[in-house]
Amino acid sequence: MIDYRDKTTYIEQPRFSCALAAQQTVLAIPRALPIVHSGPGCVGKTFAFTSYGAGFQGEGYGGGGTVSCTNTNEQDVVFGGEEKLSRFIEGAFKVLKGDLFVVLSGCTSGIVGDDVAQVASTFALQGRPIVGVETAGFRGNNYLGHELVIKGIIEGFVGDIDARPKKGLVNVFSVVPCQNPFWRSDLEEIKRLLEAVGLEVNILFGNESAGVEEWKAIPHAQFNLALSSWVGVETVELLKSKYGTPYLHIPYLPSGAEATSRVLREIGVFAGLDQNRVETVIRKEEKRFYAYFVSLADFLADFRNNIPFELYIIADSSYAAGFGGYLVNEMGFVPKGIYITDDPPPRKYGAIEKVFTDMTSDFNETVLFLTDGGIIQKDIRKKLGSSNKAIILGSSWEDKLAAENGNLSLHVSLPVNNSVIINRSYAGYNGGLRLMEDIYDGIFRRGNIASTTQTQ
């Protein structure tokens, strides 16, 4: 594998943005607003990739072209831009309506050493709801930026308070807003299921979040749930250290009935929930799920010659594991290549691979950690050969690759430039049904499909 951090190499078709794209993490908190201290163009480019390029998700409240930015110039580089930033923040408080302001730094301010955290703290001492976070792009990608923003809010806004644990209250740390193009509906599905088994949920981001009030309640949770491969684990460890809150780490986002039921049982045991209630919810959800599942039997029999069975996934580790386990264990797909694109720390590789192999030995030798789209596509072409029985779960970039042999492509990771995503989720029971539907619907978009296999 080529290490993209080697300055003599470059990434073709990157699947993530820089740390500054954590502006979308801020915007995912209802009535929270970013203030960006960076050069001109940074805000627009990160928005173009992580929101417009994530299924045209729109600006939301204060996003896109309306994000406040200092647009640092040559004078700021030479003499420093902290004074300019201070004036800018003062102006923002006069004209913007927000419950929380998060000041983010870009590469320019990061290089010259402007201390956005210190500047923000002067306003916080006046009682203003504001924190500053160092998110210069060279610090890492937007998975890192996401966690930096969360930690910054916990340390600088939630602060040091006495925790009063409330039984049944859980904070959820899971998908990265916009970097996961289905984040809004995924979080809604997660909250729906957790509430069904008896929990009160601080989902923290998206339409189902109560905004700043949920963040202030973080210290009072009975436990924290990291429903993610590796992003969010440092956050729940911080909360354990800071407030003494225990946490449960489930290293994938479940899709389909088998994995979702397993996860709900694990959460139920950890939280000390009424197991009868948990099992009642599972029975109800599984009954509905498998009723729809069985209804596919006629279709599968009639179109069996057109149905793909070779599986390629190009996605972040949390989604790749959730999709992979469901499609292989429940749908009968044969994994050919699983490409992990979120650039997890190398020390996490072994644990991530174990998640796959614990699901089934079919994943042995299929999991690769790659951030270069060119290398990924080269490897897929080699494995595909002349096959036209594959489904490639990836991005818009894989459409052409899939079309070369008449294979199928489904968008599950950035960039998504030719699909509109409004209320779509592939998580949980409902997400598993949607994923099944979208995969098999694709054989008709491929064209030249006879009504039955007998007439081919």
Identify whether 271 is part of a domain: no
> What band does 11 get if pLDDT is binned at 50, 70 and 90?
confident
Q: How far is Cα 260 from Cα 285, in angstroms, rounded to an integer?
A: 10
DSSP state of 29: S
431 lies in the same domain as 304: yes
> What band does 413 get if pLDDT is binned at 50, 70 and 90?
very high
Q: How far is Cα 229 from Cα 291, in angstroms, rounded to an integer?
A: 30
Give the HSE-up count for residue 425: Cα atoms under 13 Å, Cβ half-sphere: 21
62 lies in the same domain as 140: yes
Mean pLDDT in the chain? 94
Identify whether 86 is part of a domain: yes
- DSSP helix/strand/coil, 443: helix
- Picking from 133, 158, 183, the residue at the C-terminal end of a domain is 158
- Kindly report the pTM of this predicted structure: 0.95
90 lies in the same domain as 219: no
Domains identified in the chain, total number: 3
Q: How far is Cα 217 from Cα 153, in angstroms, rounded to an integer?
A: 12
Residue 5 is predicted with a pLDDT of 46
Containing H/E element for 367? strand 367-369
Identify whether 14 is part of a domain: no
Measure CA 348 to chain center: 17
Q: How far is Cα 181 from Cα 236, in angstroms, rounded to an integer?
A: 23
DSSP codes, 172-224: EE-SPBTTBTTHHHHHHHHHHHHHHTT-EEE--SSTT--THHHHHTGGGEEEE
Residue 180 is predicted with a pLDDT of 96
219 lies in the same domain as 350: no
Residue with tokens 């939630």: 158
Judge whether residue 1 has pLDDT over 50. Answer: no
Identify whether 48 is part of a domain: yes
120 lies in the same domain as 245: no
Selection from 322, 5, 13, 17 nearest residue 146 by Cα: 17
Residue 7 is predicted with a pLDDT of 47
Host domain of residue 363: 296-455
Domain CATH number, residue 233 = 3.40.50.1980
Using alpha carbons only, give the angle 18, 347, 228 rounded to the nearest 5 degrees. 65
Q: What percent of the chain has pLDDT over 70?
A: 95
Give per-residue pLDDT as tens, 330-344: 999 999 999 999 999
113 lies in the same domain as 134: yes
Q: Token digits for 232?
A: 């969010």
Give per-residue pLDDT as tens, 120-179: 999 999 999 999 999 999 999 999 999 999 999 999 999 999 999 999 999 999 999 999
239 lies in the same domain as 311: no
311 lies in the same domain as 439: yes
432 lies in the same domain as 369: yes
241 lies in the same domain as 145: no
Identify whether 262 is part of a domain: no
Identify whether 25 is part of a domain: yes
241 lies in the same domain as 311: no
Give per-residue pLDDT as tens, 170-228: 999 999 999 999 999 999 999 999 999 999 999 999 999 999 999 999 999 999 999 99
183 lies in the same domain as 327: no
